[in-house]
A and B are shown apart, each in its own frame.
Chain A
């Protein structure tokens, strides 16, 4: 379980996050949704200890992230941000291998190799594993990054908009992979999503964030309702029954 108590982050100029009190149960996929600038990504980076909160406490699986050593947290929770730029030239397999660092400290064992192979297979990256990252398309590269985070073998996986820049097919594939990671590998996935319909279809829980606060938290059936979405996104939304569950229609 991820538990936030009174988490705040002030940016001055009246811009602030929180106070946020939130409990994300273990297991399944929880989607953070909300309008631009609502603070979804910031909240996720605070949970993933990439950004310090000004006050409040966060516990992941009972570990206080402010007090637990970072190297131990790296075996409990992993986080992937939207943009990852570096000058090092890596192959897919080398990148995924970095996910084993918290366990093997850079000395990759035979057992690590097997875990790396499994993560690569899991994301259908087998034919690409010896290609360099700069030789891949955006969707393939995104999959490689997510494979690295999964290879870290943490119970909690935080992903910041992994569908960014992916086309329809790759978005669906990515969500199917994450669904399998949650169902078959028992991971708790917390994910920032832009598209409410992806959240409604693939997530077990939806957490709506607005103006730095959590305004709604519930199952897709509870959240994907005309009034709620209209209120959260400040735009008229009509929910209809689609072939595979409810669909939010917001095109006008």
Chain B
């Protein structure tokens, strides 16, 4: 039969199919194996800390109503942590891709400054009751809407003009954020010490800031925006190569950037309105995820980033709560660790 000839001759000419080079998302099979091992390890750690947070050191006897109430409260914090991590991790990875810059975080776009300004203004004008006035689902939604609106105005104005330029947009974002921060600082100076004390508690990002009644709004928003980014992962891979290559390959770069920045602003607004500012969490998680995942493909980077974030946040809570009995200090610790990692990465590699 004539067909058998080339088939039997093939191995002599071409390499066997198993060794056929592939344009894989991983540079070699070893990297692929490492990735899946890492993902499994992170998942295990995440489960460990999640279960630990739920059941460890429950003061009430097992099965009593108090036991279940405490477990339920802990479960709520776990859900809050998960939302915050999904928001911060996906938003930061996507934002760094859209801006083609791995040393910035979306929080510099003024989300946190706006949150601080809103909280400060509430206490400044309404007194201590201002903190209460900011609580409630409508207020929560309003804060999200304000932050998204603020960023949309900024992107829309700066990216669609004739001189639409990403760098200028970032700079204006930083300056506006700085300006809002100064206004907040000024108002804080005029507060009474007790009002200032109440305000300060709100301005440290903390899971205990979150109100369980926000969750029915926060969960769908966060999941929808994160899913939309996940859905665009293949396009994000392209956007990461810059405007010219993206356009050459047939993707509308500006439109893609606008969509990504909108989704990022929704995610950041949800996270910030839920628990307050968390400047370095996103950066820390994204930086570690790139180091761990060793691939350009966002479909692989996103899960690693989210899991890493979950492990870091639950781990920090678990350790601080059960070993150091200092639950409130978590965000301070993460900011300190995140800041150190930022400096370490920057000084050691000079490349991210």
- Pick the residue among B102, B238, B244 that contacts A98 (CB under 8 A): B238
Verify A101–B296 contact, CB threshold 8 A: no
- Pick the residue among A87, A99, A102 that contacts B100 (CB under 8 A): A87
Verify A50–B296 contact, CB threshold 8 A: no
Verify A108–B248 contact, CB threshold 8 A: no
B9 within 8 A of A: no
Per-residue 0/1 for B237-257: is the Cβ within 8 Å of any A Cβ (1 yes, 0 no)?
Answer: 110111111011111100000
Verify B27–A48 contact, CB threshold 8 A: no
Which residue of chain B is the closest to A131 with respect to CB atoms?
B27
Interchain nearest-CB distance for B289 vs A (Å): 13
Verify B249–A74 contact, CB threshold 8 A: yes
B347 within 8 A of A: no
Q: Given the complex of chains A and B, what is the CA–CA distance between A68 and B243 in angstroms? A: 19
Verify B296–A78 contact, CB threshold 8 A: no
Which residue of chain B is the closest to A99 with respect to CB atoms?
B249
Q: Given the complex of chains A and B, what is the CA–CA distance between A78 and B250 in angstroms? A: 9
Verify A132–B27 contact, CB threshold 8 A: yes
CB-defined contacts of A78 to chain B, threshold 8 Å? 248
CB-defined contacts of B240 to chain A, threshold 8 Å? 86-88
B1 within 8 A of A: no
Which residue of chain B is the closest to A151 with respect to CB atoms?
B23
Which DSSP category, helix, strand, loop or mixed, fits chain B's interface?
Answer: loop
Verify B23–A70 contact, CB threshold 8 A: no
CB-defined contacts of A102 to chain B, threshold 8 Å? 249-250
Q: Which of A110-118, A206-214, A222-230, A241-249 contacts B (4 or more CB under 8 A)?
A: A110-118
Interchain nearest-CB distance for B230 vs A (Å): 13
A89 within 8 A of B: yes
B213 within 8 A of A: no
Verify B250–A112 contact, CB threshold 8 A: no
B33 within 8 A of A: no
CB-defined contacts of B247 to chain A, threshold 8 Å? 49-50, 70
Interchain nearest-CB distance for A249 vs B (Å): 36
Known contacts: A84-B245, A86-B240. The answer to whether A113 contacts B100 by CB under 8 A is no
- Pick the residue among A75, A90, A129, A152 that contacts B296 (CB under 8 A): A90
- Pick the residue among A99, A106, A117 that contacts B21 (CB under 8 A): A117
Verify A70–B21 contact, CB threshold 8 A: no
Verify A80–B100 contact, CB threshold 8 A: no
**B:295-352 near A, CB below 8 Å:** 296, 351-352
Q: Given the complex of chains A and B, what is the CA–CA distance between A227 and B237 in angstroms? A: 50
A71 within 8 A of B: yes
- Pick the residue among A106, A113, A134 that contacts B237 (CB under 8 A): A106
Interchain nearest-CB distance for B22 vs A (Å): 6
Which residue of chain B is the closest to A112 with respect to CB atoms?
B23
A130 within 8 A of B: yes
Q: Given the complex of chains A and B, what is the CA–CA distance between A93 and B25 in angstroms? A: 10
23 sample A-B contacts, Cβ–Cβ < 8 Å, listed by A number: A48-B248, A69-B250, A70-B247, A73-B250, A74-B248, A79-B244, A80-B248, A84-B245, A86-B240, A87-B100, A93-B23, A94-B23, A94-B25, A97-B23, A101-B249, A101-B251, A102-B249, A102-B250, A106-B234, A107-B234, A113-B21, A117-B21, A130-B28
Closest 5 CB pairs of A and B: A74-B250, A106-B234, A97-B23, A71-B250, A101-B249
